[in-house]
Structure 1
């Protein structure tokens, strides 16, 4: 069960694959045309300030140029949209292509949150999924999206749609889509990777260091993920060794430029251009957020109350690492998948750790949970601190990164 703004949100379907139908391929071919082709038609009222040529024509017209990407298969589907595995025709590189239909304000809000978070990063990090480009498609035409492009009326209309909570762009008979082209992670998500292999302490240590490094990077760049869970941690093995990639920033919050007394200000207002995340002297843990959102088994106690900071990411990471080391799982009621996640047993029911701690702040967590656990004393103490009821008792992301290096090297 996923929650956002106090409401349940349908869990995304992960894993598996579906055959891409001919209709899907035709639709994708119309969208993923050569972005370098000469412009034979523009989106109405657009200012092409960055010199980007729109290589798309209206529906029914002959298309120019050759498609940049070929869709291979569908790898994920949910209420948020569809994700395909694709190949870049020029280089042969595999990419992931995510299509989000902007038919409802909540979908636009998720899409823009991910777009803002990933495009606000000036530097790359090997453990954060890389966004290659984002394309807005409407009425057979398309335009490449750029961060904070206030000269683009289509971009501003998307922002307006998200803020007003009502449709202002496109009509049901004239669908509008955002297409995200991202790096492809061929080894699936953390659930699939861990549960399909024998326990390996060295892999666990590597993953723990990679995860803490990714979160330290995001927090340094003033991004709170807010939905850390094994589903949203992807694995790439292109280098021969598994590399984690934190993904799915639909619930993330870019905090750069916010006033510490302001809650949930909109990134459109505070980050008008790329590079606004450079204020790294600001303590991200001073920004208070109020939207209770995330996936319940990984949510910190204070998130359930709707008053929290970036320290909520530290709690979620503690749940993930604890479950990964001891292979603690539960069956998701909606997807019926076995997922990594720790919980508290109350009679015949299982309760998320954060919810249980909210109800009983004096409850003592038994870490490790299993009698025969390979968990070291250093890791156990670190997890206890990461899962502290009081967020102020948890290490911040930078302290966590240093301590994780120490405990994994000593183990």
Structure 2
């Protein structure tokens, strides 16, 4: 830690705390994520998170990981693993939109940036598994704000390492649970977690659809629907499961007209059947067409319902030799 001076704590997640810090040698500002390792199991989690970060590579809409170093805990037998990442001055996507009140074109471009990042992850066979506005950061250091997606691969890291994935997903009312897809939340509600297939590309698309709907509505950054029985707010997927005929289209994105192309796109992303959802590449193509962004990579917009893709789980490859990465004072 002698190379960095911590300025302030930025937040706390499932696996550690994040700090804003300055690098002493050049004065540059970074985000430092501290993961405390006090058992072999947690050590494996940290190693797998680092491997996931290394696998992804560089992309303008992905939070970049640049360095890792370790230090012993103060008067404890623990090991603190520090990940050095980009610092995003604009905070989270929802706070940036609600606080800065950007114009509609900028908001749509930020959502297109988010789709860029998700499509890139899926192209690298990495599933995010926990998409929500808290994991979408804004770099506001340049002329235009840019999205940076963070905390990808958490679900697979959690599942592969024997952590309680159900506890992670079934968080408080403002946590990850609200962005779960029907195929995940259904078995959890029925208390049959063994039937859940976690971390799929189609589940990421559902979560991305909810994010777009919530951000564009701007009435709330949380995608609730009122329960038809008691009017209490519930997760969208939960209402879809318990009340299959519920008019979701009438309750979400009320600021958009029924003919709005972005609303049509989002509703396709929220299909109850995961096989009927567009791929992240199709979502990106449609958003590029809507926003007028460049069509890099020849990604095409969604012009008709996609053919059902194979419903498979994509795992981040993990090396068996855990000694290959010691995490000690090197990238």
2:67 corresponds, among 108, 129, 133, to: 133
Q: Give the Å deviation of 1:213.
A: 0.5
Cα deviation per residue 1:136-167 (whole Å; 9 max; x = unaligned)? 33378xxxxxxxxxxxxxxxxxxxxxxxxxxx
1:385 corresponds, among 261, 268, 285, to: 268
| Aligned 8 A contact 1:232 1:247 in 2 | yes
- 1:253 alignment partner in structure 2: 156
SS at match of 2:76: coil
- 1:34-53 maps to which residues of 2 (within 5 A)? none
SS at match of 1:223: coil
Structure 2: how far apart are the matches of 1:371 and 1:225? 28
Structure 2: how far apart are the matches of 1:322 and 1:370? 5
Q: Give the Å deviation of 1:360.
A: 3.0
Number of paired residues?
A: 271
* Deviates most, 348-357 or 226-235: 348-357
Q: Which one has the bigger helix percentage?
A: 2
Structure 1: how far apart are the matches of 2:41 and 2:152? 14
Structure 2: how far apart are the matches of 1:348 and 1:105? 46
Change (3 A) 1:367 1:205: farther
Q: Give the Å deviation of 1:356.
A: 1.6
Q: Give the Å deviation of 1:353.
A: 0.6
- 1:235 alignment partner in structure 2: 138
Larger relative contact order (Cα-Cα within 8 Å, sequence gap ≥ 6): 2
- 1:120 alignment partner in structure 2: 55
| Aligned 8 A contact 1:368 1:380 in 2 | no
* Deviates most, 301-310 or 93-102: 301-310
Q: Give the Å deviation of 1:85.
A: 0.8
- 1:234-313 maps to which residues of 2 (within 5 A)? 234-249=137-152, 251-253=154-156, 292=166, 294=169, 295-304=176-185, 305=187, 306-308=196-198, 309-313=200-204
Structure 2: how far apart are the matches of 1:199 and 1:92? 30
Q: Give the Å deviation of 1:215.
A: 0.4
1:88 corresponds, among 23, 33, 36, to: 23
Structure 1 runs (4+) deviating above 6 angstroms are none
Structure 2: how far apart are the matches of 1:106 and 1:206? 40
| Aligned 8 A contact 1:367 1:380 in 2 | no
Normalised by the length of structure 1, the TM-score is 0.60
2:222 corresponds, among 341, 363, 384, to: 341
- Structure exhibiting the larger radius of gyration computed from Cα positions: 1
* Deviates most, 312-321 or 85-94: 85-94
Asked if 1:321 is matched to 2:212, the reply is yes
Asked if 1:224 is matched to 2:127, the reply is yes
SS at match of 1:195: helix
Structure 2: how far apart are the matches of 1:75 and 1:175? 22
Structure 2: how far apart are the matches of 1:357 and 1:389? 7
2:32 corresponds, among 97, 114, 129, to: 97
Structure 1: how far apart are the matches of 2:153 and 2:122? 16
- 1:149-228 maps to which residues of 2 (within 5 A)? 173-198=76-101, 200-228=103-131
Change (3 A) 1:209 1:115: same
| Aligned 8 A contact 1:185 1:235 in 2 | yes
Structure 2: how far apart are the matches of 1:393 and 1:118? 30
Change (3 A) 1:372 1:326: closer
| Aligned 8 A contact 1:110 1:251 in 2 | no
Change (3 A) 1:362 1:375: closer
1:397 corresponds, among 280, 299, 303, to: 280
Normalised by the length of structure 2, the TM-score is 0.74
Structure 1: 5+ residue stretches without partners: 1-31, 33-66, 141-171, 255-263, 267-289, 330-339
Structure 2: how far apart are the matches of 1:111 and 1:316? 25
